[in-house]
DNA sequence: CTGAAAGCGCTTACAG
DNA sequence: CTGAAAGCGCTTACAG
């Protein structure tokens, strides 16, 4: 590459210390010298080497983020929120894809630690989080997002999945809806379990009948949403009020509907967790329990930066953000 | 943080040079010393500081990627391809969001350069790319993805949008389809222009009549796909064979269909660029011109690493990957 | 096969 | 206000 602080110093006839001070906006520098140095900086097109800077300052101004899937809109929306906030504060972000494996998640964290990131945001891939302890060992701040984890204490930002689902269900029940069905995620997934509990609790609270065959679990991906929707819709008495536990299973369900609309009971109503592009295109009435996705990311970033800056109050702090209900009518 | 190569050296009774050689798998080290060092490494839980390593070795083993939107599935699929390949080769990736602005793209590149990335992959936000020259100035390899740019020469990986669209159109025309419509992207967007040209060329080649009101342009986002679809479907004689120029506009179009299915001519057929989750749920017959999205990412990464490793043959190399046609029937 | 030593490009007490 | 100098944690010729 090339031009270093030394070159600038020589050209400007000052010491490297002075150049360093100028580029770091140290205020006890004569306007005159500052001008001179800056001119040379731009003439030589000098760019600071942040690697060298980090080695000295022990701060990389970089934050790591580990996600279970990198091409998942939900996680990337969170990442956008994170990046927005970090960008405002002069930090940047390394994203690593754990590909839904605890082992790769561990490798990702190790990599980030070796890269000397100042802190780590992780959306855990699996329920167990004991491997995350190495982040604490490295004394690096960490914030969990979307999911909590067993065997590992940490700050976290997420929503109250159980309460949100519970309240949506109560409203539906109290509005007179019956014949419920549930398309959930594997209960090993933290949010899937919470959402299922909310569903269940409302059913029990109001003592509403529930056909056990109408409760089924998939893997949070589109295909299983399709398959389970198919199974439910093709059962002898299909459910009429469906709670679908996440966005991707919901789009799988919509996909089924788009092919087999004639099989669908006219009274069908679909409630779903998450509200994104496709949440409203099912063509059947429904509602979405919307998470403040961007805000989750921003809050996680904000909390992490506070920890990085040394704030250690109220640890661990679990922040539950509010959801809200969006209803989808059809034309 | 803590334990450095010095601590390991002291504990193991060797020099730091030896420790360095062990952790870098230098082969001229006695198995005995190697063992001893390794034991101390794991006992002290030593982790290499890659910042220090990079400063010395002048290689960060990190690649930067600049995308126009970070929560865009298409770009993130490309990113997944990139990351997959990089991961295999021991590299990691910093993703920066240019938020569709040339200015922020420039800032992103500058940031990456300051972070001493070994190379940069950019999906350009805008048509002009003169600001990218600073990558060449910094002697860093760069690969463009998905779009070419004016005023900047570079390796690139993309598909032949014009040819792909042209051939799909020719097939449709030759299969007897008529009454065409086109929902395109702003022609300032590289791919939008190419796709429009392919459409146009087929129409002219076969001398097929085309109602100019049936050709319209939006911004590649869902909302404009919805709006344009609405406009077309509500025109006096709606088109019956539609070419939609990208995925997001297509989902906007599908959205319109899901609300106003009764307005849709029964003979409607929709061809679209890209094939992702939702490309097949329109409920009307159609086809997708599928780009090998992951492969685009992998190839871009591979080309970049080759350049990083010093291969400078056939520069600039524009690699056009093949597309293929997927047809969507309805049930 | 191993070590002493220089140096990567910065920052920052410490002096003055 | 500015500079000389040490040092961040590594790697790597150069010796031996």
pLDDT tens digits, B176-202: 999 999 999 999 999 999 999 999 999
Peptide bond between residue A317 and the one before it cis (omega within 30 degrees of 0): no
Q: Report which residue is nearest nucleotide D8 when distances run from CA to C1'.
A: A56
Protein-proximal positions, strand D, CB < 7 A: 1-5, 7-13
Eight-class DSSP state of B128: B
What tens digit of pLDDT does each residue of A112-145 get?
A: 999 999 999 999 999 999 999 999 999 999 999 9
Q: Do B116 and B94 fall into the same domain?
A: yes
Percent above pLDDT 90 for chain B: 84
pLDDT of residue A284: 86
Burial pattern B219-251, b for ≥16 Cβ within 10 A else e, equals bbbbebbbbbbbbbbeeeebbbbbbbbbbbbbb
User: Which range has highest mean pLDDT (A93-102, A160-169, A306-315)?
Assistant: A160-169
Report the nucleotide nearest the CA of residue A56, measured to C1'. D8
Q: Check CB contact of B4 with chain A, cutoff 8 Å.
A: no
CATH number at residue B9: 1.10.260.40
pLDDT of residue A71: 83
Burial pattern B280-315, b for ≥16 Cβ within 10 A else e, equals bbbbbebbbbbbebbbbbbbbbbbbbbbbeeeeeee
The reply to whether A330 falls in a domain is: no
Q: Check CB contact of B19 with chain A, cutoff 8 Å.
A: no
Mark out the alpha helices in chain A (DSSP H runs).
Answer: 5-12, 16-23, 31-44, 50-57, 73-88, 102-114, 133-137, 161-174, 190-206, 222-233, 247-259, 293-308
Reading across the β-sheet that carries A286-290, which strands appear in turn?
A215-218, A180-185, A241-244, A269-273, A286-290, A324-328
Q: Check CB contact of B18 with chain A, cutoff 8 Å.
A: no
What is the rounded average pLDDT of the residues A206-228?
96
pLDDT above 70: residue A331: no
CA pair distance A239, A213, nearest whole angstrom:
10
Looking at beta carbons, which pairs linking B50-58 to residues 24 or more positions away fall under 8 Å? Answer: B50/A114, B50/A115, B50/A116, B51/A51, B51/A54, B51/A55, B51/A60, B51/A115, B51/A116, B52/A55, B54/A51, B54/B116, B55/A49, B55/A51, B55/A52, B55/A55, B58/A1
Q: Do B263 and B194 fall into the same domain?
A: yes
CATH number at residue B144: 3.40.50.2300
Q: Report which residue is nearest nucleotide D13 when distances run from CA to C1'.
A: B17
Q: Cβ of residue A48 near strand C, that is under 7 Å?
A: yes
pLDDT of residue B263: 82
CA pair distance A223, B144, nearest whole angstrom:
33
Q: What is the DSSP string of B288-304?
A: EEE--HHHHHHHHHHHH
CA pair distance B48, B36, nearest whole angstrom:
17
Q: Cβ of residue A56 near strand C, that is under 7 Å?
A: yes
How are the residues of chain A apportioned to helix, strand and coil, as percentages rounded to the nearest 5?
A: 45, 20, 35
Q: Do B82 and B182 fall into the same domain?
A: no
Q: Check CB contact of B258 with chain A, cutoff 8 Å.
A: yes
The reply to whether B327 falls in a domain is: no
The reply to whether A53 falls in a domain is: no
Say how many domains are in chain A: 3
Q: Do A171 and A284 fall into the same domain?
A: yes
- Give every CB contact of residue B314 below 8 A, 6+ residues apart in sequence: none
Q: Do A302 and A287 fall into the same domain?
A: no
Q: Check CB contact of A324 with chain B, cutoff 8 Å.
A: no
- Give every CB contact of residue A269 below 8 A, 6+ residues apart in sequence: A172, A177, A240, A241, A242, A284, A285, A286
Q: Cβ of residue A139 near strand D, that is under 7 Å?
A: no
Q: Considering only CA atoms, which of A285, A288, A207, A281 is closest in space to residue A245?
A: A288
Check CB contact under 8 Å for B79 and A62. Answer: no
Q: Considering only CA atoms, which of A137, A129, A143 is closest in space to residue A64?
A: A143
Check CB contact under 8 Å for A259 and B330. Answer: yes
pLDDT above 70: residue B232: yes
The reply to whether B53 falls in a domain is: no
14-33 on B, CB < 7 Å from strand C: 14-18, 21, 27-30, 32-33
Report the nucleotide nearest the CA of residue B18, measured to C1'. C2
Position of tokens 């022990």?
Answer: A58
Q: Check CB contact of B92 with chain A, cutoff 8 Å.
A: yes
pLDDT above 90: residue B22: yes
SS3 A146: coil
Mean confidence (pLDDT) of chain B: 93
CA pair distance B75, B71, nearest whole angstrom:
8
Question: Contact at 8 Å (CB) between B105 and B131?
Answer: yes
Question: Contact at 8 Å (CB) between A66 and A109?
Answer: yes
**CB < 8 Å to B222, chain A:** 277
What's the CA–C1' distance between B111 and C4, in Å? 37
The reply to whether A18 falls in a domain is: yes
Check CB contact under 8 Å for B110 and A47. Answer: yes
Backbone angles phi, psi at B143, to 5 degrees: -130, 130
> Nearest by CB to B60, which of A51, A70, A254?
A51
Residue B1 pLDDT grade (very low, low, confident, very high; cuts 50, 70, 90): low
Interface of A with B in 95-124 (CB under 8 A): 95-97, 110-111, 113-116
Q: Cβ of residue A5 near strand C, that is under 7 Å?
A: yes
Report the nucleotide nearest the CA of residue B3, measured to C1'. D9
What is the rounded average pLDDT of the residues A213-235?
95
Q: Considering only CA atoms, which of A104, A121, A126, A112 is closest in space to residue A158?
A: A121
Check residue B176 and give left, alpha or beta (phi > 0: left; psi -120 to 50: alpha).
left
User: Which range has highest mean pLDDT (A35-44, A159-168, A270-279)?
Assistant: A159-168
Q: Do B287 and B298 fall into the same domain?
A: no
Largest Cα–Cα distance in chain A?
87
How far does the CA of residue B204 sit from the closest CA of chain A (Å)? 35
**CB < 8 Å to B51, chain A:** 51, 54-55, 60, 115-116
- For A260, other C-beta atoms within 10 Å of its C-beta total 14
- Give every CB contact of residue A297 below 8 A, 6+ residues apart in sequence: A77, A78, A79, A80, A81, A82, A83, A84, A85, A145
Mean confidence (pLDDT) of chain A: 93
CA-nearest residue of chain A to B262? A331
Peptide bond between residue A86 and the one before it cis (omega within 30 degrees of 0): no
Size (chain B), residues: 331
Interface of A with B in 126-165 (CB under 8 A): 137-140
Residue B330 or residue B115, greater confidence: B115
Residue A152: in which H helix or E strand, if any? none
> Nearest by CB to B51, which of A51, A95, A331?
A51
Protein-proximal positions, strand C, CB < 7 A: 1-5, 7-13
The reply to whether B248 falls in a domain is: yes
Q: Cβ of residue B24 near strand D, that is under 7 Å?
A: yes
The reply to whether B277 falls in a domain is: yes
Looking at beta carbons, which pairs linking B147-154 to residues 24 or more positions away fall under 8 Å? Answer: B147/B123, B147/B189, B147/B190, B147/B191, B148/B124, B148/B190, B148/B318, B149/B124, B149/B190, B153/B316, B154/B129, B154/B316
pLDDT above 80: residue B98: yes
CA-nearest residue of chain A to B78? A71
Beta-strand relationship, B215-218 and B180-185 = parallel
**Tokens read off for A196:** 């299922």
CA-nearest residue of chain A to B75? A71
Check CB contact under 8 Å for B92 and A94. Answer: yes
Q: Do B165 and B284 fall into the same domain?
A: yes
CA pair distance A294, A322, nearest whole angstrom:
13
Residue B144: in which H helix or E strand, if any? strand B142-145
Q: Do B247 and B214 fall into the same domain?
A: yes
pLDDT of residue A140: 94
As a whole number of Å, the CA-based R_g of chain B is 26
**CB < 8 Å to A52, chain B:** 55
> Nearest by CB to A1, which of B92, B95, B138?
B138
CA pair distance A84, B112, nearest whole angstrom:
17
CA-nearest residue of chain A to B58? A1
Q: Do A193 and A253 fall into the same domain?
A: yes
Reading across the β-sheet that carries B324-328, which strands appear in turn?
B215-218, B180-185, B241-244, B269-273, B286-290, B324-328
**CB < 8 Å to B111, chain A:** 92
Domain ranges, residue B103? 59-153+294-321
**Tokens read off for B25:** 């798998």
Q: Do A131 and A168 fall into the same domain?
A: no
Domain boundary among B13, B28, B48: B48
pLDDT above 70: residue A186: yes
Q: Do B170 and B271 fall into the same domain?
A: yes
Residue B279 pLDDT grade (very low, low, confident, very high; cuts 50, 70, 90): confident
pLDDT of residue A217: 98
CA pair distance A314, B107, nearest whole angstrom:
36
Q: Cβ of residue A54 near strand D, that is under 7 Å?
A: no
- Give every CB contact of residue B281 below 8 A, 6+ residues apart in sequence: A251, A254, A255, A258, B254
CA-nearest residue of chain B to A330? B259
pLDDT above 70: residue B20: yes
What is the rounded average pLDDT of the residues B110-132?
94
Q: Do B193 and B127 fall into the same domain?
A: no
The reply to whether B329 falls in a domain is: no
CA pair distance A204, A162, nearest whole angstrom:
14
């Amino acid at each position: 590459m090339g031009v270093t602080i030394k070159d600038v110093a020589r050209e400007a006839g000052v010491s490297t210390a002075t150049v360093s001070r100028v580029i770091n906006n140290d205020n006890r520098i004569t306007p005159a010298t500052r001008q001179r140095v800056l001119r040379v900086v731009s003439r030589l097109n000098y760019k600071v080497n942040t690697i060298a800077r980090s080695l000295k300052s022990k701060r990389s101004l970089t934050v790591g983020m580990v996600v279970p899937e990198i091409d998942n809109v939900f996680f990337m929306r969170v990442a956008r929120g994170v990046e927005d906030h970090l960008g405002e504060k002069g930090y940047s972000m390394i994203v690593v894809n754990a590909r839904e494996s605890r082992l790769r998640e561990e490798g990702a964290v190790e990599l980030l630690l070796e890269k000397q990131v100042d802190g780590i945001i992780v959306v855990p891939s699996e329920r167990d989080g004991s491997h995350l302890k190495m982040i604490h060992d490295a004394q690096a701040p960490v914030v969990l997002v979307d999911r909590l984890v067993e065997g590992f204490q940490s700050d976290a930002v997420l929503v109250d999945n159980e309460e949100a689902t519970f309240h949506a269900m109560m409203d539906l029940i109290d509005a007179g809806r019956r014949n419920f069905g549930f398309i959930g995620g594997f209960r090993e997934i933290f949010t899937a379990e919470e959402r299922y509990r909310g569903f269940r609790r409302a059913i029990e609270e109001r003592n509403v009948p529930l056909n056990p065959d109408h409760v089924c679990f998939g893997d949070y991906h589109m295909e299983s949403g399709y398959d389970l929707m198919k199974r439910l819709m093709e059962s002898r008495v299909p459910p009429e009020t469906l709670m679908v536990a996440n966005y991707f299973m919901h789009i799988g369900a919509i996909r089924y509907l788009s092919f087999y609309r004639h099989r669908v009971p006219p009274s069908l109503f679909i409630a779903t967790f998450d509200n994104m592009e496709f949440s409203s295109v099912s063509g059947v009435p429904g509602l979405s329990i919307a998470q403040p996705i961007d805000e989750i990311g921003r809050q996680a970033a904000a909390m992490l930066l506070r920890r990085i800056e040394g704030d250690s109050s109220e640890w661990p702090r679990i922040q539950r953000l509010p959801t809200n209900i969006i209803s989808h009518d059809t034309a």
